[in-house]
Chain A
Amino acid sequence: MPGYRIEYSKTGRARWLSHLELIRTFIRALRRSGLPLVFSQGFNPHPRLSYCPSLGVGVAGLREYLDADLAAATPLPEGMASLGRQLPPGLEIGCLMELPPAAPGIGKAVNCAWYRLALPPEQTADAWQQAIDCLVGGSDPLYYKRPKDGKLFDVRSALSACRLTEVGGKRSEAGTVECGASPGAWRERTPALKEGEGLGLDLLVDFGDAAAPLRGIVETLLPLTEAAGCYEPARVTRMALLRHNGGLINPLGERKQLWEA
């Protein structure tokens, strides 16, 4: 029973789907596509699928993943086309790949995510850079308290790397990436950006026990600039899901540089 990994993007109107809504949408698209799904046993058979860590409602994702078991080997271009034709607006297939036998599932294949936050225009690049320096510069824990249950998260330790960038149009050529001594700790100097350009903040965030919610990171960062505003999911895009272990590798098995699409 071959396993397949589907890379897709979730943008436009589809960014507003919750994780459960997205799952149901994919299940029905797969059922319509005629791909030979493998079903669980029992009275209400479910197709055997696994999903990557969920995206917040309103957050777009450019490279998201879904693993599916199929009952028979399926030619990749045809499989991609038949599923692609069945997806509602905002969901698009990027790539379909057959998983090598015994490959780790998507849940194990990622441990961090690269988010890009489109920054509100009121603040200058300098102000943002200072905020970033303040955030990544210190080593004491910087806590975010989740409103719904009061749980504390250390924003600093959840953040592996961070840079200021331009959004829309050409991406800024980032400066040198400095890998810290411990694996997963990157530090980067961002070249100064011209005033008035659309600014974005790139964040490499860890999953796992220490994982601070994205909202927490953003809401910790924003006050450092004295910028008005709050976390707005529609400003956030998950650029990539990755696994870091000395270097970075994406779920399709490709090595990536930091901030490489």
Chain B
Amino acid sequence: MEQHDLDELLSHLEKPARYLGSEWNAVHKDWDRTAVRMAFAFPDLYEVGMSHLGLQILYGLVNAHPDYLMERVFAPAPDLEAELRRGGLPLFSLESHRPLRDFDLLGFTLQYELTFTNILNMIDLAGIPLMSCERSDADPLVIAGGPVAANPEPLAPFIDAFVIGEGEDALPEVLSVIRQAKESAGASLRARWSRQRLLEKLAGIPGVYIPSFYSVEYNKEGRVQGFTALRPELQSCVRRRLAPDLNDVFFPTAPVVPLAEAVHERGMLEVFRGCTRGCRFCQAGMIYRPVRERDPQTLLRQAREIIDKTGYEEISLVSLSSLDYSDLDGLLPALGDQCTLSRTGISLPSLRVDSFSVDIAQKLPGGRRTSLTLAPEAGTQRLRDVINKGVTEADLLEAVAAAAAAGWSAIKLYFMVGLPTETQADLEGIGDLVRKAQRAGRSARGGKKLRLSISASSFVPKAHTPFQWEGQLPRQQLTERHAFLRELVKSSGADYHWHDIKTSFLEASLARGDRRLAGVLFEAWRRGCRFDGWTEHFNFDLWQDSFRAAGLDPEFYAGRRLSYDEALPWDMIDVGIDREFLVREHRRALAGAATADCRLGSCEGCGVCPSFGVEPRLVKASTLDVSKG
């Protein structure tokens, strides 16, 4: 885009800094001298996407390669979309402000189901046909990856290829195939190979799932009956990719520093990947197994570089449960020393519920902030055993007391409502916990009241978890339970915030969806749904119309309890966890039996390690026996 046109466009926007592309550490490569050009598409606003580690990893990784180029694009805010549509302008990349159609491929990251309509919108604004089957050889390839690709089916007709699992190895392999496709194609052609041929080649890369190469069959009740690979050379299912040793993989120590203020502005240090605590509702805890820790020396070097190359005021340890790192004693003091001179703070995005964690958080430089969040998730020991959240009431009360004594004046407690087997007693248990926490806080603060706020979401069953067979409670019941809980919590003098129930309901219907939901997504997008995860944009009525128009019932997807022997829409995706393990975990959940974290020394037999021929990698290893798997 010409500078003048860009200025004209920017002058109409509320936050032009979202679209400048001139951030510190942004990479501006020579377009004509790179063989393959990719646009990384984040289907949410700049401020959300720029806080995301996955973007920074792939951006750094691809741009480090001399033959490849990656630029960024985020979902256009409503004001930009209106300008683009009014002026008939195509959606453009940030770095070179080129139309997305000029790129060889467009890659979406899937972090949240409620960004799906933004994906359709971005494809459309790019001027690319929405459906994979309508695209020609002249159109860019549209791929997608990220955690939500663990069930890619609702997006299947819109995406040419999914990359399942960790992208650090798989994405360069995809780019290399595209380079081959383009070699000696001449200037007039996008590629020497037809689109079909390209997809066939891509299907040969482990972890790549081409939805159009599989057909899905449904039975007369409308359930998925199974799927068929349409080509003899295809594996029956696609196994996710995984990096066995994180010390060997690329990590971005010069991440792009946002210009428009992002949700989180901090250097991100990934101390490990994977979490084996085994919370039974948690998808991340299943699909990133096993635990793989980085060496302290690697982390210290990366932290030094991040501080020097970004100037960030804060470094955050962003793993799923960072304080589980096995060599905290070796890491934290050295990291603290490194941060002294530059006055860099160290933060933890989430705290484990115990006083040990609070003590550590308090000692971190810049670590004592105004508010602290703890997530007991459920109100009674019984229900916490069902979900395998290894937290006791004593843990929580000690953590609250420790935090209050250390000077925190506000604490946020996070709970989930509508968990499997939940009863009135479990909700009352939350009220009870809140009262006790209030008391513990007050006495630790010498009689001054602690500001407690309770944040409650609704349970959403997710694919590849032990609770994937469970249904979400009907909306009416969820509403009643939240209302009941709110009264209980308010009477104990704490604040109560709940996550919108309709939003959680839609999330549940998409999370366990099959291919037919693509019709609903199309209808919703056509009716103007965008940014559905944002309360101010979410329009549930339009979604209900869309389900009706597509002839589907959201309850069928969100609320139905599945049986162990039925086929699941996401069966073609193999994350490496044995189905038997998930069944066993589900049964143990219903029996209230806890399962230990394999970090502690004994393999619980989830199947991941033998599937991939890897082992958990702890820097201070307790001896681990994975033979049971």
**Selected A-B contacts with CB under 8 Å, 28 pairs:** A13-B20, A13-B21, A13-B22, A14-B20, A16-B17, A17-B17, A18-B17, A20-B261, A21-B261, A24-B261, A28-B310, A28-B312, A29-B24, A29-B311, A31-B312, A32-B310, A43-B366, A43-B368, A44-B313, A44-B345, A44-B366, A57-B16, A58-B16, A88-B23, A88-B259, A89-B22, A234-B7, A234-B10
Give the CA-CA distance A45 to B21 in the complex, in Å: 29
Q: Which residues of B lie under 8 Å from residue A25 when comparing CB positions?
A: 24, 259
A residues with CB within 8 A of B? 12-14, 16-18, 20-21, 24-25, 27-32, 39, 43-45, 57-58, 86, 88-90, 232-234
User: CB < 8 Å: which of B16, B22, B260, B265 contacts A88?
Assistant: B22
Chain A residues closer than 8 Å to B259, beta-carbon distance: 17, 21, 25, 88
Residues of A within 8 A of B11 (CB): 58, 232-234
Interface centre among A12, A14, A27, A89 (most CB of B within 10 A): A89
* Residue B342, interface by CB 8 Å: yes
Known pairs A27-B313, A29-B311, A44-B366; list 10 more (Cβ under 8 Å).
A13-B21, A14-B20, A16-B16, A18-B15, A20-B261, A21-B259, A25-B24, A31-B313, A58-B7, A88-B26
A258 to chain B, nearest CB (A): 29
Contacts of B312 on A, CB cut-off 8 Å? Answer: 28, 31
Establish whether residues A16 and B311, one from each chain, have CB atoms under 8 Å apart when the complex forms. Answer: no
Is B308's CB within 8 Å of the partner chain A?
A: yes
Q: What 4 pairs between A and B have smallest CB-CB spacing? A: A28-B311, A31-B311, A16-B16, A32-B311
CB distance from A13 to the nearest CB of B (A): 4
Docked Cα-Cα span, A28 to B308, in Å, equals 10
B366 — which chain A residues lie within 8 A by C-beta? Answer: 43-44
B1-30 interface with A by 8 A CB criterion: 7-8, 10-11, 15-17, 20-24, 26
Cα distance A14–B17 when bound, in Å?
A: 8
Contact residue among A21, A32, A44, A57 (Cβ-Cβ distance under 8 Å from B309)? A32
Cβ of A32 to closest chain B Cβ, rounded Å: 4
> Are the C-beta atoms of B310 and A14 separated by less than 8 Å?
no
CA A14 – CA B16 in complex, angstroms?
A: 10
Chain B residues with Cβ below 8 Å from A86 are 24, 311
Residues of A within 8 A of B15 (CB): 18
Measured CB to CB, the nearest residue on chain B to A28 is B311
Interchain CA distance A65-B343 in the complex, whole Å: 25
What's the Cα separation between A13 and B1 when bound, in Å? 13
Q: In whole angstroms, what is the CA distance A14 to B26 when docked?
A: 14
Contacts of B311 in A (CB 8 A): 27-32, 86
B257 proximal to A (CB < 8 A): yes
Query: Contact between A39 and B343 (Cβ–Cβ < 8 Å)?
Result: yes
Q: Looking at the assembled complex, report how far the CB atom of B221 sits from the nearest CB atom of chain A, in whole angstroms.
A: 55
Would you call A45 and B24 a contact (CB within 8 A)? no
Which range holds the interface residue count of chain B? 20 to 34
Could you tell me the distance in whole angstroms from the C-beta of A54 to the nearest C-beta in chain B? 14
Known contacts A21-B259, A45-B343; is-contact A16 B10 (Cβ 8 Å):
yes
Contacts known (A16-B17, A58-B11); A32 close to B308, Cβ less than 8 A:
yes
Closest chain-A Cβ to B51's Cβ sits at a distance in Å of 14
Contact B8 A234 (CB under 8 A): yes
What residues on A are CB-neighbors of B21 within 8 Å?
Answer: 13
Report chain A residues within 8 Å CB of B23.
88
Residue B584 at the A interface, CB < 8 A?
Answer: no
Which B residues lie at the A interface, using CB under 8 A? 7-8, 10-11, 15-17, 20-24, 26, 257, 259-261, 265, 308-313, 342-343, 345, 366, 368-369
**What DSSP secondary structure best describes chain B's contact surface?**
loop
Residues from chain A with a CB closer than 8 A to the CB of B309 are 32
Residues of B within 8 A of A58 (CB): 7, 10-11, 16
In the assembled complex, the Cα of A233 lies from the Cα of B366 at a distance in Å of: 39
Shortest distance from the beta carbon of A232 to any chain B beta carbon, whole Å: 6
Chain A CB count within 10 A is highest, among B11, B261, B310, B368, for B11
Q: Which residue of B lies closest to A18 (CB)?
A: B17
Within the complex, what minimum Cβ distance (angstroms) separates B95 from chain A? Answer: 11
Q: Which of B10, B22, B343 contacts A90 (CB 8 A)?
A: B22
- Complex CA distance for A48 and B8, rounded to whole angstroms: 36
Task: Contact check, A43 vs B10: say whether CB atoms are below 8 A apart.
Answer: no
Q: How far is the CA of A88 from the CA of B22 in the complex (A)?
A: 7
B17 to A88, Cβ gap below 8 A? no
List of A residues within 8 angstroms of B310 by Cβ: 28, 32
Shortest CB–CB separation between residue A128 and chain B, in angstroms? Answer: 22
Give A68 Cβ to nearest chain B Cβ, in Å: 14
State the CA gap A225–B10 with chains docked (Å): 26
Please report the C-alpha to C-alpha distance between residue A162 and residue B322 in the assembled complex, in whole angstroms.
61
Q: Which residues of A contact B8 (CB under 8 A)?
A: 234
Question: In whole angstroms, what is the CA distance A253 to B8 when docked?
Answer: 37
Complex CA gap A27/B259 in Å reads: 12
Contact partners of B16 in chain A: CB under 8 A: 16, 57-58
Chain B neighbourhood of A32, CB < 8 A: 24, 308-311
The smallest beta-carbon distance between A120 and chain B, in angstroms, is: 12
**Interfacial chain B residues near A90, Cβ < 8 Å:** 22
Residue in A13, A21, A233 whose CB lies within 8 Å of B260: A21
B15, B16, B265, B312, most chain A CB atoms within 10 A: B16
Shortest CB-to-CB span from B254 to chain A, Å, is 11
Contact A16:B257 (CB < 8 A) given known A28-B310, A28-B312: no
Q: Which of A16, A31, A39 contacts B20 (CB 8 A)?
A: A16
**Inter-chain contact B17/A21, CB cutoff 8 Å:** yes
- Chain A residues within an 8 Å CB radius of B342: 31
B441 to chain A, nearest CB (A): 20
Chain B nearest Cβ from A27, distance in angstroms: 7
- In the complex, which residues of chain A have a beta carbon less than 8 angstroms from the beta carbon of B24? 25, 28-29, 32, 86, 88
Q: What is the CA–CA distance of A227 and B168 in the complex, to the nearest angstrom?
A: 56
Name the residue of chain B whose CB is nearest to the CB of A233.
B11
A32 to B305, CA, bound (A): 11
Q: Which of A12, A16, A21, A232 has the most CB of B within 10 A?
A: A16
Closest to B10 in A: A16
A39 to B11, CA, bound (A): 36
Give the shortest distance, in Å, between A39 (CB) and chain B (any CB): 6
Contact partners of A30 in chain B: CB under 8 A: 311
CB distance from A92 to the nearest CB of B (A): 13
**Bound state CA distance, A61 and B190, in angstroms?**
43
Asked if A28 and B22 sit within 8 Å, CB to CB, the answer is: no
The distance from the CB of B543 to the nearest CB of chain A, in whole angstroms, is 35
How long is the Cα–Cα vector from A13 to B366 in the complex, in angstroms? Answer: 33
* Chain B positions within 8 Å of A17 at CB level: 17, 20, 259
A25 to B257, CA, bound (A): 9
A17 to B22, CA, bound (A): 11
Which chain B residue lies CB-closest to A26? B311
* CB of B87, distance to nearest CB on chain A (Å): 16
**Chain A: CB-nearest residue to B368:** A43
* 8 Å CB contact of B257 from A28, A43, A89, A234: A28
By a CB distance below 8 angstroms, the chain B residues around A14 are 20, 22
Q: Give every chain A residue within 8 A of B17 (Cβ-Cβ).
A: 16-18, 21
Which chain B residue shows the least CB distance to A34?
A: B308
Tell me the smallest distance from the CB of B314 to a CB of chain A, in Å: 9
Minimal beta-carbon separation of A86 from chain B (angstroms) = 7
B492 CB, min distance to chain A CBs, angstroms: 29
- List residues of chain B with CB within 8 A of the CB of A18: 15, 17
Q: Which A residues are CB-close (under 8 A) to B265?
A: 24
A57 CA / B311 CA spacing, docked (Å): 24
A24 CB to closest chain B CB (Å) equals: 7
B394 to chain A, nearest CB (A): 29
With beta carbons under 8 angstroms apart, the residue of A12, A29, A233 that contacts B22 is A12
CB contacts (< 8 Å) of A29 on chain B: these are 24, 311
Complex Cα distance A21/B24, Å?
Answer: 13
The answer for the CA separation of A232 and B11 in the assembled complex, in Å, is 7
How far apart are B408's CB and chain A's nearest CB, in angstroms? 12
CA distance A45 to B22 in the complex (A): 27
CA A86 to CA B343, docked complex, whole Å: 18
Closest to A46 in B: B313
CA–CA, A152 and B16, complex, Å: 28
Least CB separation from B24: chain A residue: A88
